[in-house]
């Protein structure tokens, strides 16, 4: 087995990685669809999966490519709008997570990042708004349910 020598690498060493990164979203209404979409990704895919669920007990082991990280977002453990004492509404935790992720990972623009959005309308539209309108991701790089007609003309 070939093992490259990384002993000379430092924090300043340039790392070339031309794999497309993915951001994949879902909620409790789309778990089967989410699993199907993840199964279609290349084994070497890298990126992040955000899944909004009602309670922490609703999380389970989701099969993802080994370079992808899953974040479960239970609404029951999150607040709604800051300073209101409201509970987290459907789609709210997902929208916040995608906003934070995109601010960090897409700070130089979306590049070749691909988004796969599944779930009910509030979750999908919250993620779409962040990616398309705030981060400037082209519609061609965002897969969302056609029934929501989110894509710009």
What is the average pLDDT across 18-42? 93
pLDDT band, residue 87 (cuts 50/70/90): confident
Q: What is the mean pLDDT of the chain?
A: 87
Report pLDDT for 14: 45
Report pLDDT for 79: 78
In b/e form, how buried is each residue of 120-134, taking b as 16+ CB within 10 angstroms?
Answer: bebbbbbbbebbbee
- The CATH T-level fold of domain 26-144 is Rossmann fold (3.40.50)
Provide the percentage of residues in the chain whose pLDDT is more than 90: 71
What pLDDT, in 10s, does the model give residues 97-119? 999 999 999 988 999 999 999 99
Tokens describing residue 116:
């796969």
Please say if the pLDDT value at position 150 is more than 90: no
Q: How far from 95 is each of 45, 63, 90, 115, 144, CA to CA, in Å?
A: 23, 23, 10, 13, 14
What pLDDT, in 10s, does the model give residues 48-79? 999 999 999 999 999 999 999 999 999 999 87
pLDDT band, residue 136 (cuts 50/70/90): very high
Distance CA 10, CA 41 (A): 31
pLDDT band, residue 133 (cuts 50/70/90): very high
């Amino acid at each position: 087995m070939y093992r490259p020598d990384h002993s000379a690498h430092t924090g300043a060493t340039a790392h070339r990685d031309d794999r497309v990164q993915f951001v994949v979203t879902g909620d409790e209404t789309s778990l089967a669809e989410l699993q199907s979409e993840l199964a279609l990704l290349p084994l070497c895919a890298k990126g992040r999966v955000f899944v909004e669920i009602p309670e922490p007990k609703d999380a389970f082991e989701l099969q993802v490519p080994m370079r992808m990280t899953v974040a479960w977002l239970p609404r029951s453990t999150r607040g709604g709008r800051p300073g209101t004492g409201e509970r987290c509404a459907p789609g709210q935790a997902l929208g916040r997570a995608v906003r934070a992720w995109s601010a960090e990972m897409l700070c130089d623009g979306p590049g070749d990042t691909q988004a796969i959005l599944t779930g009910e309308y509030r979750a999908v539209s919250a993620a779409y708004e962040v990616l398309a309108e705030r981060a400037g991701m082209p519609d061609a790089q965002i897969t969302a349910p056609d029934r929501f007609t989110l894509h710009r003309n």
